[in-house]
Amino acid sequence: MRAFFSSPWRPFREDTPLTNAVMIFVLTTLFYFLGAMMRLVEELSLFWPLNAVMAGVFARYAFLHRWHYYLISYVAMLAYDAITTTWGTASLIINFSNMVFIITMAQFIGWERSQMLKAPEPVNALKLFSYCLVSALLCAFFGAIGSVGINDQGFWPLLADWFGEQFSTGVLILPGLLAMGRPRVPLHFAWRKTMPIVAVAVSVLASVVIGGAGSLAFPLPALIWCAVRYSLPLTSLVTLITGGLEIILVSSGKINIFVSSPFDIPHMFSARLGIATMAICPVIVSVSVEAINRLIRQVSLRADFDFLTRVYSRSGLYEALNHDDNRFADKHLSVMLMDIDYFKSINDNYGHECGDKVLASFAQKVQQVLGERGVVARMGGEEFVVVATTQDAKEGKQLAELLRKSVETHPFKWRQQTLHLTVSIGISHGKTEAWQLTEMFNELLAVSDENLYRSKKRGRNCTTDGDNSVAAEHHAPVPMDN
């Protein structure tokens, strides 16, 4: 089982052009044969899967976008026709129209993929729908011209026929083909998980029993249930089967969309049910999207804020700087890197729980004293950064000293005991511009880091400025008392 999931086998590879060519020829011939066989069964003659399948193949493997590969597919179609039909030159145009669908669709999807800057994402379903529309229209135009000579019908009915067939088959087949992949985790069967599929089957049955125009919409809610519960490939497969089945049932008269049957149910009943089913679908989607959005908000909130101290996390700080650039850009900034002195001894003497509590109280104290003048972020461990907008370096130093002193004089409570902390600060200053806010901040942070190191070397509980001047008189570290 494991070997199956990790098997590296791929039908097409960039470094095997000959195999690719043979595979394209074989696949085209196979699906041409399948389509031709389906033409013999009246209900199945409504489908022509070749174009959608080949478009999916060319779209999935970008390196197949070469004219010679398209030509091989075209030659395979012509060869099949030459052996099995008497169409003569009409075959050139008819198969050209097949190629129009395949190439247009593959180019559209290839273009969309090239726009995806990061990892490839699933192709947007709404766009896929419109790509199918355009490709089917183009294909139908040439197909109808080619078919006029070998068919009794006129150009317009042929155009409608071609378009309907290409568009519906494309929309049904392509999403599944593009999403198809090996399951990442082994599949586990559970009866409970089949409920959405059972609902689809029941709703298709209801379409047959109730009939009428509205009955076509009956499976929609169940299909959306599948979409919510199942993976994209499985949802696409269920949709393909349901859509295909509905087309067959309508064409064979099993779903009678003109007369409500077989129990002589009034037309309005079917229409009302159909409209109601349709109306609930956007609501189902909207509820799901809202739940997803809520989850995204929660996750990004967790990433932006430090769970323990409730100030910004490192990544949250960068977000704040960039999203709140009105507040920070083109301003004089003071960046203060703060590190609690001898924090290890708090953990060692009072335990980690106390250490955590002290970290949270420390962050809140700094935040409270800082107020609206800037933002606080935890950079990791017992190291915090304050980014404040100040008039000049002097005001920045004063603020750093204010923060340092307020920590020094603040009694931190732990159970029945009072702890005293001190903090060392490295500070730097600079004026930022919106377009280089992050780079500037990083540079200032590096200077603050060096200055913090100096503060520690100088005996802690002090602020060191960029020019290494002493911002305040040196204070000896204050040991904790109980």
Ligand X SMILES: Nc1nc2c(ncn2[C@@H]2O[C@H](COP(=O)(O)OP(=O)(O)OP(=O)(O)O)[C@@H](O)[C@H]2O)c(=O)[nH]1
Task: Pick the stretch among 173-181, 232-240, 338-346, 428-436 that binds ligand X (CB under 6 A).
Answer: 338-346
Tokens 């729908």 -> residue: 129
Q: What gap in Å lies between CA 344 and CA 373, rounded to an integer?
A: 30
- Smaller CB separation from ligand X, 50 or 340: 340
Least Cβ distance, residue 308 to ligand X (angstroms): 6
Site membership for ligand X, residue 347 (CB under 6 A): yes
DSSP string, 408-432: HTPEEEETTEEEE--EEEEEEEEE-
Task: Pick the stretch among 140-148, 267-275, 339-347, 425-433 that binds ligand X (CB under 6 A).
Answer: 339-347
Site membership for ligand X, residue 465 (CB under 6 A): no
Site membership for ligand X, residue 331 (CB under 6 A): no
262: DSSP letter: S
Number of residues that bind ligand X (CB under 6 A): 16
- Smaller CB separation from ligand X, 328 or 343: 343
For the record, the structure tokens of 394 come out as 């002097």
Task: Pick the stretch among 142-150, 297-305, 352-360, 444-452 that binds ligand X (CB under 6 A).
Answer: 352-360
Q: Residue from 339, 367, 376, 400 that binds ligand X (CB under 6 A)? A: 339
- Smaller CB separation from ligand X, 60 or 460: 460
Least Cβ distance, residue 380 to ligand X (angstroms): 7
Site membership for ligand X, residue 319 (CB under 6 A): no
Task: Pick the stretch among 15-23, 29-37, 65-73, 342-350 that binds ligand X (CB under 6 A).
Answer: 342-350
Q: Residue from 331, 456, 458, 475 that binds ligand X (CB under 6 A)? A: 456
Least Cβ distance, residue 401 to ligand X (angstroms): 19
Q: Where are the alpha helices (DSSP H) in 7-124?
A: 17-40, 49-60, 67-84, 90-115
Buried (b) or exposed (e) across 17-44, using 16+ Cβ within 10 A? eeebbebbbebbbebbebbbebeeeebb
Q: Are 387 and 375 in contact (CB under 8 A)?
A: yes
- Judged by DSSP in three states, 1 sits in coil
- Smaller CB separation from ligand X, 293 or 315: 315
Task: List CB contacts of 176: < 8 A, sequence separation 6 or more.
Answer: 233, 236, 237, 239, 240
Q: Residue from 149, 381, 411, 459 that binds ligand X (CB under 6 A)? A: 381
Site membership for ligand X, residue 343 (CB under 6 A): yes
Least Cβ distance, residue 342 to ligand X (angstroms): 5
Site membership for ligand X, residue 377 (CB under 6 A): no
Q: Residue from 68, 302, 310, 344 that binds ligand X (CB under 6 A)? A: 344
Angle made by CA atoms 443, 457, 394, in degrees to the nearest 5: 50
Q: Residue from 359, 386, 387, 440 that binds ligand X (CB under 6 A)? A: 359
Q: Which residues pair with 25 in a beta bridge?
A: none
- Smaller CB separation from ligand X, 81 or 341: 341
Least Cβ distance, residue 301 to ligand X (angstroms): 19
Q: Residue from 352, 413, 431, 457 that binds ligand X (CB under 6 A)? A: 352
Q: What gap in Å lies between CA 35 and CA 58, rounded to an integer?
A: 19
Q: Which whole-number Å values give the CA distances from 133 to 104, 125, 137, 284, in the listed order?
A: 11, 12, 6, 26
Q: Which whole-number Å values give the CA distances from 127 to 135, 220, 235, 361, in the listed order?
A: 12, 20, 18, 52
Position of minimal CB gap to ligand X: 355
Q: Where are the alpha helices (DSSP H) in 252-341?
A: 267-304, 314-323, 325-328
Task: Please name which of 136, 138, 177 lies closest in space to residue 31, comparing C-alpha atoms.
Answer: 177
Binding mask 266-305 for ligand X (x = CB under 6 A): ----------------------------------------
What does the binding site for ligand X look like in residue numbers (CB under 6 A)?
308, 339-344, 347, 352, 355-356, 359, 381-382, 456, 460
